[in-house]
Every structure is written in C-alpha cells, then in structure tokens.
Amino acid sequence: MPILAAIVASAPLHAATPSGPASMAEHQRQCAGKDGWSDPAPPVRIFANVYDVGSCGITVLLITGAKGHILIDGATAQAVPAIIANIERLGVRPRDVKYLLSTHEHVDHAGGLHALHQRTGASLIASAAARPMLESGTPARDDPQHGGLDAFTGARVGRIVRDGEAVTLGSLRLTAHLTPGHSPGGTSWSWTACAGKNCRRIVYADSLSAVSADGYRFADHPAYVARLRTTIAKVAALRCDLLITPHPSASALYDRLAGTVPLIDSKACARYAAAARSNLDKRLAREAATVKRR
C-alpha cells in the first residue's frame, strides 16, 4: 500500500491536503549543515506507522493508529510550530493525538511538551521520577546536568507510568522501561510495529550518555553511577529489531533511513549500550586522572 494511502486509512485527515512524509533526499537537503535542537526538518517515515516529526537534531516520534495517535517527546518550544506542521503534513489532525510520552526531562526533549499539550489536548504520561521536573521545567538537583541546562515551561503530567507498564490506545501498545541515568527520570519505550506481515520490535531507547554540567564529577556519586550502569545493562537486554534514540545521531538514524547502513539490526541496542558503558568508563578514568594530577 502506498505510504500516504496507509496514513489516510489509519488516521483522520486534516482539512488541508496532506503531502505525506518527505523522502530522505528532501530531509538531507533541508538539514544539510544543521543539527540544532530547533532546526526545522520535514517528517520522515521510519517504519510502518512510525514517523519522525522532530527537528534536524532532535527526534520526536509520531505513532499513528485508528483510535488516535501517540507522540513521544516534544523537542523545544521553538520547534513546536514545525512539529505541528509536520503532523498535519502527514494528514493527521493535532487534536487526534491522544497521548504525549517522554524520554527524559531536559529542555531539548521536553521543552515543547507544554505547547504540544495546548495544541493537541493530549494527556502527558511520564514516570514518577520525571514528573516533578516535567511539571516545574527545572532539572532535579541530583541530575548531573543541573545548572547547565535552561529551564522550560512545565507541562502537567496526567498519568504516572511504572516500569513495565503498558500504554494502550486502540491497537497501539507501548511498554515503559524506566531507565534513569542520563537524567533521574529517564524512560525508554518499546512496541511492535507491522508493515503488512513484516513485524518488528522497536525500541526508543533514552539517552545513556554520561554528560554533566561543569564541576560535576560522576566519581563523587557512586550510587548514581550504579544506577546508570543498571540502566545500560537493561537497554542491552531489550528485544530490539529497530533502535531509535532521542538524538538521531546517537543511533545513526538518518544514515540508516538513507540506506547507507541497515535500518533493521537485532544487535543495535546491545551495541548502543556497549558504547555507553565504554564512554562512562572513559569519563570515570578522566576524572580519576584529573585527581592524580592535582
């Protein structure tokens, strides 16, 4: 079935005539030399009913269904007009987005959730750990990036999700995996998407990078490091045919969509986790070396 026909079959149409998802050639032209959090990008189809409607540098996922749609992440407030335009370009009415989900509570991924809630009326679903920051718009004091990120307009969380709990909307069923570490409230999501009889297990794995505000030392927070290591192991163990990440570059999403490397890869989550473990070890080694030089 042609892409646009598939969208029309599963989603109410906006009054304007939709043009459907962009080709990767169009996406590459528009994002050439750009990877900013708010740089507008055209929408692209990832697989089946899963689309990236975010910016050149930030993933925002739209998952379409016959009973309504789910949006994961919100990029920045400045990116929201382009996100809404992308949703409409796919033939989807913003008001038919029923749920907003979140990976983690930083401005580059959650800054647009308030405006998206206003535009769609969708209910925001998040973990208990993420809720205070999503509603206040300020990173938690135990967040390694506390003090290094801008605040944002908070959005009210309508439902708390627990580890392993499913969010269902018609035939859509997404499982929440609590994956704290990059932020205290990090959450990854997994689900099965089918293009005809070709079904794949998709994992939208939260960021696993050990980055921080100036002056923060992971070595001074062994419990937090242990939490991050547990999360890395958890992501490595997920059943995973198709990996997507909040920063598309972290999983080479656009290269994979362009066909330069395989899109489907059952070992992608394990490799993503292994890279995160290696980067964490390197970060701790640099911190230890700095102490020795003093």
Catalytic residue among 52, 73, 108, 206: 108
Please indicate, yes or no, whether the overall pTM of this predicted structure exceeds 0.85. Answer: yes
- Please report the pLDDT score of residue 11 as a whole number: 42
Portion of the chain with pLDDT greater than 90, in percent: 91
DSSP E strand boundaries for the chain: 44-47, 50-52, 61-63, 69-72, 97-101, 123-126, 157-160, 166-169, 172-178, 187-195, 198-204, 242-244
- Please report the pLDDT score of residue 13 as a whole number: 39
- 106 given a catalytic annotation: yes
- 247 given a catalytic annotation: yes
pLDDT tens digits, one per residue of 16-39: 458 899 999 999 999 999 999 999
- Please report the pLDDT score of residue 226 as a whole number: 98
Catalytic residue among 104, 114, 117, 177: 104
pLDDT at 1 over 80: no
Catalytic residue among 27, 114, 117, 182: 182
Catalytic residue among 27, 109, 114, 117: 109
Catalytic residue among 146, 221, 247, 255: 247
pLDDT tens digits, one per residue of 35-87: 999 999 999 999 999 999 999 999 999 999 999 999 999 999 999 999 999 99
Catalytic residue among 216, 224, 254, 272: 216
Q: How confident is the model at residue 14 (pLDDT cuts 50, 70, 90)?
A: very low
- 182 given a catalytic annotation: yes
pLDDT tens digits, one per residue of 233-270: 999 999 999 999 999 999 999 999 999 999 999 999 99
Q: How confident is the model at residue 139 (pLDDT cuts 50, 70, 90)?
A: confident
- 96 given a catalytic annotation: no
Catalytic residue among 106, 114, 117, 177: 106
| Cα 221 from chain centroid (whole Å) | 26
DSSP state of 52: E
Domains of the chain, by residue range, sit at 3-293
- Please report the pLDDT score of residue 293 as a whole number: 61
pLDDT at 292 over 70: no
pLDDT at 10 over 50: no
- 108 given a catalytic annotation: yes
| Beta-bridge mates of residue 178 | 187
- Please report the pLDDT score of residue 12 as a whole number: 41
Domain 3-293 has CATH 3.10.450.50: no
Q: How confident is the model at residue 212 (pLDDT cuts 50, 70, 90)?
A: very high
Number of H helices, E strands in the chain: 9, 12
- Please report the pLDDT score of residue 29 as a whole number: 98
Residue with the larger pLDDT of the pair 178 and 7? 178
CA dihedral 11→110→25→205, nearest 10 degrees, is: -90
Mean pLDDT of 192-213: 98
Mean pLDDT of 185-206: 98
Mean pLDDT of 111-125: 98
CB distance 199 to 173 below 8 Å: no
- Please report the pLDDT score of residue 17 as a whole number: 59
